Amino acid sequence: MGRAWVKRWKPSGRGEKGSYVEVLEVHQKTSIDKVPWSLPPSKSHAIRWLALAAQSNQFITFHNMKYAGEDVCSMRRCLIQMGVAITDLNAKGERLPNLTNVDLNPHPESVSWQVQGRGPNGLKPPISVLHAGNSGTALRLLMALCARFDVPIMLDGDASLRSRDYSSMIDTLNQFQVQSSHGEGAEMLPLLVQGPWKCPEGLKINANKSSQPTSAWLIASPALPSDLHLSLEGDAVSRRHASLTREMCESLGCSSVSGGSLNPWEPVFSQTELHVPPDCSMLAFAMLASKVVAAPVDVEVLPGDEDSLGHEVLMHRAKDLGINLDNSTISSMDGDAPSSYDLRDANDLITPLSALLALSSGGEITGAAHAAYKETNRLKHTRTLLAAFGLKATSIEGGLSIPGGQSLTPPKELVETYHDHRMQMTAIVLAMGCKQKVVIEGANLHAVADPYAVQRWVDVGVEAKVNLHQHW
């Protein structure tokens, strides 16, 4: 029986019918006059603030959490597993009852979260696996937070998270003499870690692929067992995200880390009511939408430059992208000439920005070599995704070159998104420019960052439904 099963099963699926995969079927049949658009809260801000609030001795209330994506909820869940009490509040500021659900998700009516901190050394070892979902930021922060525990802690994530590279973070765990055990080859999760941590004379972090290891140890530093000298190696990327973490910590009482010195400290919030800013990286999809459907997009609240983490380039150079930004209303206009964008500090923009350039005046994207280490190799697969819609892009060193003035062609086959929510969200918007039904891999990938990415289109008359699709 065993040999017969092996004979008829082929991982490639060639010559056989493949498994069914969950897809999103989108059919845009009617004209759209206007698209209301609410940006979700910034994942980068929310995840970092949550981890710091958990290590304070205060009650901290987070506002603007109504549209929080699954990445933020994953961090919330893991902190609850480590003994942090988080209360949901409605629009009136009233406490909502705790729901009985294994995922510890927020109440559906929740718009604010109140975190009761446990102090720098108050986190407890979880009794079950810490599952970070799709969030690389949450996972790396949790690796650092768990280094203090003298019992084994298991960390895991979804299929996309399992396939990413954590070698830089694991190297730092080794420097703290924290034991770790993980998979080899294609998957590095689940990961088993066991402390307690012991500070090295100096912590060296390779910062040329991600800023997250730096952020992780800064955020875990309140419970450091002793003083520590921190040094960064390589050509640092995503510098705005690292600066965000440093500024947060210093604003709460951490001594300046500009000289590389880290000491144990206690986070103290001068303001116990935090308004999490909108996620500016999500503005790229709103701009792309206005170009694709040739209708204005009304954004509820725009982020300020100081909270945009490098993504403010979208607002500063809107006209270069063929976009008119009038207060918070986005509309399409003719672009002037090809333009160039350095995404060293904003590589999350690469896929929607490439599509926007293709439909406007074209240009080049540079400084995005580290986009290869995200949920998927975004340098490679952005070209593949665009090609599915008849759009061309060519590879250049650390980026892409995109001709302008291109037109959408409806995909003839399933649009692959490679377990990447930004790929899927770009495909959803591009599908709005196709009169035929478009089938997109990954029905719910958008929920990682923007739970309403599909519903907003349904609200303006677009047909969208989840279905099962046989890939081969």
Q: What is the pLDDT of residues 373-405, one digit of tens each?
A: 555 688 889 999 999 999 999 999 889 999 999
Alpha-carbon distance 471 to 61, whole Å? 45
Alpha-carbon distance 355 to 291, whole Å? 10
Q: What is the pLDDT of residues 298-346, one digit of tens each?
A: 999 999 999 999 999 999 999 999 999 999 999 999 987 899 999 988 8
H helix or E strand, kind and range, residue 301: none
Close Cβ partners of 101 (under 8 Å, ≥ 6 residues apart): none
Alpha-carbon distance 254 to 265, whole Å? 6
Beta strands in 8-152 (DSSP E): 20-27, 35-37, 59-63, 85-89, 112-116, 130-131
- The pLDDT-based confidence of 8 (bands split at 50, 70, 90) is very low
* pLDDT at residue number 4: 39
* Residue given tokens 């079950």 in the structure block: 128
Query: How, if at all, do strands 35-37 and 297-299 pair?
Result: parallel
pTM tops 0.85, yes or no: yes
- The pLDDT-based confidence of 2 (bands split at 50, 70, 90) is very low
Q: Answer with the residue of higher pLDDT: 10 or 269.
A: 269
- Distance from CA of residue 246 to its chain's centroid? 19
Tell me how crowded residue 298 is: count the other CB atoms within 10 A of its CB: 16
For residue 135, the one-letter residue type is: S
Q: Which domains, ranges and CATH numbers included, belong to the chain? A: 10-40+279-470 (3.65.10.10), 43-275 (3.65.10.10)
